[in-house]
Structure 1
Amino acid sequence: MFVLTVDQRDSRRDVDRVADLLTDLRDAPLLRPFERTAGDEIQAVTDDPVVVVDLVLDLLRREHWSIGVGVGPVEHPLPEQTRAGRGRAFEHARSAVERAKNAPGRVAVDGADSDAAGDADAALTLLATLVLRRSAQGHEAVDLAREGLSQAGIAERLGISRQAVSQRLTTAAWQAEVAGRELARRLLERADR
């Protein structure tokens, strides 16, 4: 099981961004939805490592969040409210979000199997590096590629040449992201065994 604990960065010098984030994430495919747990922090539960990777990368693009991923068991049945959940995954998420506050990629993974969690942590940190360095044009091209558009379709949608699309995707490290997402998924899955 995976628990995501997400904390707003520099919240004392910024507006409260939690309400807007909760609205944006309300349709995420989770076992327990994101919910405010304390102040500027939210938490959610999922059993799907693909959802974890997707949410981590989405949150990183929003630029205001430290993300902790806890891996491990939770007490069942899960309570209706996320913040009432208990178990090792919740404890690991707490320690992970604290580490994420000072981590280069603003994301950290913690779990009972420290080697497996460390491998997943490294993969997500590498993905974070790609996403955080990408230009707005790179994000735009990658978003359309993730929707399944061909390079010709992306070119038509953006009103640029196929060559320009190819260059944007290359500069944005799109193929590396695809491989990195799959690697992170497998490593999170392994950490959850």
Structure 2
Amino acid sequence: MQEVTDNADFNEDFTAFHGRTILDQAEYLNQAIKFILQLYENNVNPPKSVIVLAHSMGGVVARVMVTLPNYVPESINTIITLASPHAAAPLTFDGDILKIYSAIDRFWLAGYQEKLENDDGSGKSGNDKELNNIAKERLANLSLVSITGGLLDTILPADYTTLGYLVPPSNGFTVYTTGIQNVWTPVDHLAIVWCGQLRRKISELLLDIADYESPL
């Protein structure tokens, strides 16, 4: 997989408050990734996928992207999230937020049902066979890493960031910044974006993931 770098800034949009905003951002980003990959189509060995690095609700948006009709199959190889509320919505003022969280979880649980059942017997899935097949195809080779700042993150409790119930060890995990080599410290909700020690480790991770000899 070749590395393609770009940045999406929604000007601190109130994603945590509004379900429609989550869907709009996810749909837009799928189109953006499609456009970015098309820019490299004429390369000798064009990239076919990207790595998504997301902060806070951006991590939830990234998970929504894979579930939408305009998602390009295998266009996302890895999702790395920083202080993202995967396990529960941080705010529930808008009913659509709860519906979106429920729909995302159904999709991801369906995609990893067999692997989760093999791990601990906790796999769950809906009855929609077509949806389950789509979920399995889209998530089979996708990795999801959730990084949490721990005790210093007073905005989002660490329990909200866990992937244990959702993603099997073969495809992802949750890690505290205190457990990352050469970081070794809790980080607050905003500082996790610019913490120098963490940024260096993530940069090293991105370089390790990128394979310039493979388009995937």
Q: Which structure has the highest strand share of the two? A: 1
Q: TM-score, normalised by structure 2?
A: 0.29
Q: Which structure has the highest helix share of the two? A: 1
Q: TM-score, normalised by structure 1?
A: 0.31
User: Relative CO higher for 1 or 2, CA cutoff 8 Å, sep ≥ 6?
Assistant: 2
